[in-house]
Amino acid sequence: MDTATLIPTRTWAHHDYRSDLAQLRRVRADIATDLTDFPPDLVDTVQLCASELFANSVKYAYTEPDRIRLLLNQRDQCTLTLVVGDPGGPTVPHIPKRTPDAWDWAEGQRGLLLLDNLSTSWGHFAYPRATRLGTWITARFPVP
């Protein structure tokens, strides 16, 4: 892979939040502010995905240090990447293996299915030299 494809064409300042669901209003507002020039449908999608990733961080990540970081960058002319970084936890994000019938009755753990359907791709990584986990999504949008 050409290393030029790894360098974002545009990066926004990161945002740090307390590990508290009450911070979701700030998360969505910060994304709306950062993505002012982007199509409203894309902003809505990124806000929804960020809300899900943030809620997962609050629920599943270790609480120390009590900080969740949000990063946005534009990788190319039509690809936006969102990363939510947290202290990590005992497991990594994954979609549970269930039968269709089991999914019909499941009352939780549907958030990553939402990400899987709304984003172009998603995954997770460990930060080098740190005990933190990053979960990311990419979203493609039409070139004006």
Of the chain, the percentage scoring pLDDT greater than 90 comes to 54
The domain that holds 102 is classified in CATH as 3.30.565.10
Please, are residues 93 and 135 in contact by the beta-carbon 8 Å criterion? yes
Amino acid 7: pLDDT = 63
pLDDT reported for residue 48 = 96
Domain that holds residue 43: 3-140
pLDDT, one tens digit per residue, over 6-45 is 566 899 999 999 999 999 999 999 999 999 999 999 999 9
- Reply yes or no on whether the pLDDT at 4 is more than 50: no
The C-alpha atoms of residue 25 and residue 56 are separated, in whole angstroms, by 15
Q: What is the pTM of this model?
A: 0.87
CA 126 to chain centre: 14
- Cβ atoms 42, 78 nearer than 8 A: no
Domain count, the chain: 1
